Amino acid sequence: MSCGCKTSGDSAHSCGTKSADGCASVDTCGNSYKLSVFDWLSNINSPAQSNTDFVEVRFKNDRKFFYKNVNKLPLHIGSVVTVESSPGHDIGVVSLSGELVKIQMKKKYVSEENPLKIYRLANQKDIEVWQEVRQKEESVKIQARKIAYALNLDMKITDVEYQGDGGKVTIYYTADTRVDFRQLIKEYASLFRTKIDMKQIGFRQEAAKVGGIGSCGRELCCSTWLTDFRSVNTNAARYQQLSINPQKLAGQCGKLKCCLNYELDSYLDALSHFPPSSTTIDTVKGKAFCIKIDVFKKRMWFAYVDHSMSWYDLDVQEVKKLIDTNKKGEKAPPLEELKINDIPVKSVDLIQENNMDRFERKNRPAGKNQNKRKPNNQNKTEGKPNVNQPPRNKKPQEKAAGQNVKASPQNQGPKKFKKKPQPKRDDNA
């Protein structure tokens, strides 16, 4: 049994997003599950037949383990297998095979001694029981939360996972302190009629199981590709000149974002070429101390002790020269003479975000309704001669012709429109 798209094991194939809802046959698809390993050796022919008997089997969410194929079964990515468990057996899907399994086992420090075994390929009965218990997990999780809330326990039920044969249910929870759940297990065992295994996880593991969208607009790293959680502290933000704001530095899990460690090594490498931030320069006008550092522009801002409101930016090489001058017992020149004068660059606002009247229509053409917008007094006086204005001089041809001369269309004034009377108000309406 394999994925319905018939491309399980093909690393060039993708069924959508790397999430549990990416493919219609996500239970057996090897490419649309989160935290799946990219098989970069799939298109490379091995010079010798692989002697690796271990395969990687995944279960719900990000739980994986390595099992030994003792019966030499023809396994490939997407095969549903019945594996050894305690107690009973479990159902999983093969997620990796071949030489990459050795690399993953070495990376995760998994020993090859006393390995768990693969019993057989899952038959139809095993798959039916497996799918039946998987459908019960959501309702069991809701009932488990209600019981924990009724007992006033300071814990949060994150996820529930049934074993493939239904003989055991694992309940994942998060808590800040130690929880006494002896009474809770009795309630669960009497209600669910199976073995209960309580497993505490961290808040980062909870975010990896639940998933979500980060502040960058992409899926969470821990739920897609990140497998190891390195410790993150506020020093990583300080080295990168970030403001210590818990609301901006915290992720979906409520802890510091894992991406603060991604570029930390680059910043530490760049800061190794800078003098310490506690550097002071003895100038003619007094001592100056460092305010801030710009890693990208390679500049350092200094200010006088007496006048700390005025900042002066200096190049890193210039600062090193000033430090050497102070070591010789000489005072450095004032910072005003060493300040870098940047040439102002005129910015062009292509989107016109700062223009308040960008939505207004300018230079509208004169339309037919232009006269209607004029005030009433102007419409009444339009077309009537002004008494105070002297009469225009007539052309000599018009004087000779007298009153019989007809005016050409060019000499005619603007057309007069009669104002329509307003309708009378009907009080009986």
The tens digit of pLDDT for each residue in 52-70 reads 789 999 998 778 899 999 9
Phi, psi of 166 (to 5 degrees): 75, 10
Tokens standing for 338?
A: 């060493």
Please work out, in degrees rounded to the nearest 5, the angle formed at the alpha carbon of residue 40 by the alpha carbons of 39 and 45. 105
Lowest mean pLDDT among 90-104, 172-186, 187-201, 375-389: 375-389
Euclidean distance between CA atoms 97 and 120, whole angstroms: 16
Give the pLDDT score at 17.
47
- For position 414, what pLDDT does the model report? 62
CA 390, distance to chain mean position in Å, is 76
Residue 316 has pLDDT above 70, yes or no: yes
190: enclosing H helix or E strand: helix 182-192
Q: What is the pTM of this model?
A: 0.64
Judge whether residue 23 has pLDDT over 50.
Answer: yes
* Lookup: tokens for 415: 């057309």
Strand 156-162 to 168-174 pairing: antiparallel
The string of pLDDT tens digits covering residues 148-169 is 999 999 999 999 999 999 889 9
Q: Sign of the CA dihedral 274, 275, 277, 281?
A: negative
Averaged over 385-408, what is the pLDDT? 49
Average pLDDT, integer, range 254-276:
91
Q: How far apart are CA 202 and CA 181, in angstroms?
A: 18
Look at residues 62, 8, 57, 56 and name the one whose alpha carbon lies nearest to residue 35. Answer: 62
pLDDT at 259: 93
Q: How much is the pLDDT for 227?
A: 79
Distance CA 225, CA 386 (A): 85
**Nearest to 281, CA basis, from 313, 298, 304:** 304
pLDDT, tens digit (0-9, with 9 covering 90-100), for 167-183: 899 999 999 888 888 89
What is the Cα–Cα distance from 318 to 339, expressed in whole angstroms? 10
Q: So what's the pLDDT on residue 345?
A: 65
Percent residues over pLDDT 70 in the chain: 72
- The enclosing H or E element of 312 equals strand 312-315
128 residue type, one letter = E
Lowest mean per-residue pLDDT among 4-18, 115-129, 189-203, 228-242: 4-18
Residue 16 has pLDDT above 50, yes or no: no
CA distance 411 to 144: 94
d(CA 130, CA 408): 98
| DSSP, residue by residue, 261-293 | GTSHHHHHHHHTTSPPTT-EEEETTEEEEEEEE
288 has a pLDDT exceeding 50: yes
| Token pair listed for 364 | 């509208």
Answer yes or no: is pLDDT of 387 > 60.
Answer: no
Q: What domains are there in the chain, each with its CATH number?
A: 1-123 (no CATH), 136-206 (3.30.300.20), 230-271 (no CATH), 280-338 (no CATH)
